[in-house]
Amino acid sequence: MSFFLGHLSGGFTATASAIPELQAKSRKERGLYGVSFSQKDGSPPVVPPYCKFHKHGFHGVASAVEGAKYFFNGLDEAQAKHYESTLTASPVFQTFLHNDAYSALPSTYLVTEDDLALPAAYQEGMVALQNLRPEVNIGIVKCLSGHSPHLTWIEGCRVINAASLPRRTQPEAPGYENQAICCCLPGYDCWPAPEVWAHFNQSLGGKLIATKPLASSCHLDPFETYNEENCAIIQAKWSLAETHLKTSSSIMSPFFANYSCDPFSPRASQCIIGTYVQYAVDASGASDYKKTIEFAIKHNIRLTIRNTGHDYYGKATGAGAIAIWTQHLKSIEILTYKSNYYTGKAIKVGLVIVGGNDGTVGLAGGYTQGGGHGQLVSRYGLAADQVLEWKVVTANGDLIVASPVKNQDLYWALSGGGGGTYGVVLSMTSRAHPDEQTAAANLTSLTLSVWLMTNSSFAMTPASGIGLTSSVLNEIMRPTIMKLEENHVNYTYFVGDFPTFLDAFKAMNPPNPVNNIQIGGRFIPRSLVESSNGSQNLMNAVRDISNKVGAISGIALNASQKEGHIANSAHPQWRQVLFDAVVGTYWSNNDPELNISNQDLVTYDVVPQIEKLVPGGGAYLSEGDFREPKWQQVFYGDNYESLRSIKQKYDPHGLFYALTAVGSDSWVVSENGSLCKIR
């Protein structure tokens, strides 16, 4: 692939215009810009006067300032104002402000001589500095233009110089020169040709799915699927996890979509694949797993594992990745299981049998592999405690069984040590418990007098008890209700009896928005509440935090039960937990700067405030802060080093990567989105 290297503003758009894969046609027509330079010494980013920049995801988000002046000065005032109105916050790449700025992109530099935002002399000076290095030889092509709407000359420049342009062979990681090996990305010579992908698809029986972003119907280009009615439907359901579950690429957490194709952006704004996976394999068995693993290794392509897509960390996505999509492995088999550890009924479950507190959670994916909490934990233990055996395809393509008597180390790691990193699970055999009559209750109050959970409302939705009757549950709830009545607090209370737990679950757990928040969390141990000042300190913290964030919630449980096989890698602190606390700040669909501030609030203010109450406390792997500085200890406790050794045994080359997963500290995501292993 040959291309121009340009600078903002005209140069950046010129670069895009020369690369069809960057959907440059639509960018050229709309004039989308934005850039920031990260300084190598760690100083604050240098931001040009023509944009505002906000760090976001793996790149950044920039919004234009005085677009009519800086970008459209060659047009009359009316046209300039019109084009200025099309500018929107846009993901941008970052590069270091030093002589290495272009070393990763051997190119011919396109100087836009009338560029108001960055004078031609400055552009040429940067290239001259780069060419002082003996290994660098960047040519210059000059074009008499300033900014995006005028780039009618681009096709000519591209054709004239294409033969002399250097090639992009392999992505690199700026800052890790000669220290990292990066996965391939589209647009590089290492990327498989279309006929290679076609042959791979044929070998899979047509199961390869090319990504078209879910929100593409909200945009004009490049997929040409704009549909106002469909877009409105997508916008209305965007915050529901099931909206994304039905696709092979869309992800629940908008932070990791990085505005690649956002349904709430103007229809003229960008819609690119960006950080979504490039392809997904709709897997139906171990053979599909093996073929996908072999293809990813052969072509050095990032591999992800996607179950239902219910994930706050974006683990199932990544720029240039191919996903093994396991959603349609739905078989359930009732077994009479016998071993030294358990004799009785068991369920052999396909990968999308749901569990947890939301119907979109895949049981055998990151839920159980991460420990797994829910409404039945206090009765039976964590989800990981129930596992009798796993069938898993490892990084070398082998299908093996992991149980307490076979491949015990892998069984231990998969049962609580995190998903997406040791292998690809094909099936899970779990204990089955008899269904029983279940009582469930909802208690809500919308009043400023209630400080139990937030400063504006309190909700217990639901309190459930399998094997209990409503009269028994009423007695359990009575002290709370009496406290509300003593303080003259209005409330709404419902309690009911249901024939089965499933009936209660369906009635009391309607679909709720789960992806419109940015979260962090900590375990609240029973010992804190039982200590002399612990309960009051906790309530003081809850009151203060509830004034800062959109919600503080969680699940009360007792995972100390001995029923189940608890010789597993679930965080040891689960056994002392009274309440798994989760804090959340709301996600704005139109204010990227606010979203960054809200995530900073979680990471640097709210979670540390809870940590002061429980120094050294852990957090639920699936509901913590993805930017947790001490994630190895917080999410895995003292198990981390043992888990890392098992990871090295079964995946020595690090094929399986996921954010905050065991072994992910050996990788970095470069500024262009490529996943790079540090040597």
Q: What does the domain layout of the chain look like in residue ranges?
A: 4-168, 438-499, 517-635
Terminus-to-terminus CA distance in the chain, angstroms? Answer: 27
CA distance 389 to 399: 13
Q: Which tokens in the block code for residue 632?
A: 């190895």
Residue 17, SS3?
helix
pLDDT digits (tens, 9 = 90+) for 12-36: 333 333 333 333 333 334 333 334 4
Helices (H) and strands (E) in the chain, counts: 22, 26
Banded model confidence at residue 286, pLDDT cuts 50, 70, 90: very high
- Per the CB < 8 A criterion, the answer to whether 20 and 41 are in contact is no
**Cα atoms in the 13 Å half-sphere on the side-chain side of 385:** 21
**Range of lowest pLDDT (87-91, 114-118, 326-330, 470-474):** 87-91
Q: For the purposes of burial, counting CB atoms within 10 Å of the CB of 142, is it exposed (0-12), middle (13-18) or buried (19 or more)?
A: middle
Task: State the Cα–Cα distance between residues 111 and 146, nearest whole angstrom.
Answer: 9
Percent of the chain topping pLDDT 90? 34
Tell me the pLDDT band of 119, cut-offs 50, 70 and 90.
Answer: low
Confidence of residue 400 (pLDDT cuts 50, 70, 90): very high
Q: For residues 510 and 459, give the distance between their C-alpha atoms in angstroms, rounded to a whole number.
A: 14
Banded pLDDT at 301 (limits 50, 70, 90): very high
Tell me whether strands 94-96 and 551-556 are parallel, antiparallel or unpaired: unpaired
The pLDDT confidence band at residue 512, using thresholds 50, 70 and 90, is low
**pLDDT tens digits for range 540-557:** 888 888 888 867 888 888
Task: Show the tokens assigned to 518.
Answer: 């940015």
pLDDT value at 480 more than 90: no
Separation of alpha carbons 512 and 515, rounded Å: 9
Percent of the chain residues topping a pLDDT of 70: 66
Under the banding of pLDDT at 50, 70 and 90, the label for residue 572 is: very high
Rg (CA), the chain: 27
- Amino acid code (one letter) for 265: S
Averaged pLDDT for residues 639-650:
97
pLDDT at 37: 45
Range with the poorest average pLDDT among 89-98, 175-184, 278-287, 354-363: 89-98
587-600 confidence digits (pLDDT tens): 888 888 888 899 99
Model confidence at 59, pLDDT cuts 50, 70, 90, reads very low
471: pLDDT strictly greater than 60: yes
> With helix as H, strand as E and coil as C, how does 421-474 read?
CCCEEEEEEEECCCCCCEEEEEEEECCCCCCCCCCCCEEEEEEEEECCCHHHHH
Nearest Cα residue to 72 out of 122, 133, 14, 31: 31
Read off the pLDDT of each residue in 142-158 and give the average, rounded to a whole number. 45
Answer whether residue 112 shows pLDDT above 70. no
Q: Which residue is listed with tokens 């104002």?
A: 81
64: Cβ contacts below 8 Å, ≥ 6 apart = 33, 34, 50, 51, 52, 70, 71, 84, 87
In this prediction, residue 613 carries a pLDDT of: 94
CA–CA separation, 644 and 640 (whole Å): 6
Q: Which pLDDT score is estimated for 515?
A: 62
Kindly state the helix (H) or strand (E) to which residue 344 belongs, with its residue range.
Answer: strand 343-349
Q: Look at residues 8, 126, 19, 109 and name the one whose alpha carbon lies nearest to residue 64.
A: 8
Which of 50, 64, 65, 61 is CA-nearest to residue 116?
50
Average pLDDT over residues 138-144: 65
Which residues, 6+ apart, have CB-to-CB distance to 564 below 8 Å? Answer: 380, 381, 382, 385, 386, 431
pTM above 0.85, yes or no: no
Q: What is the largest CA-CA distance in the chain?
A: 83
- Tens of pLDDT along 37-51? 444 444 444 445 555
Q: Are 399 and 286 in contact (CB under 8 A)?
A: yes
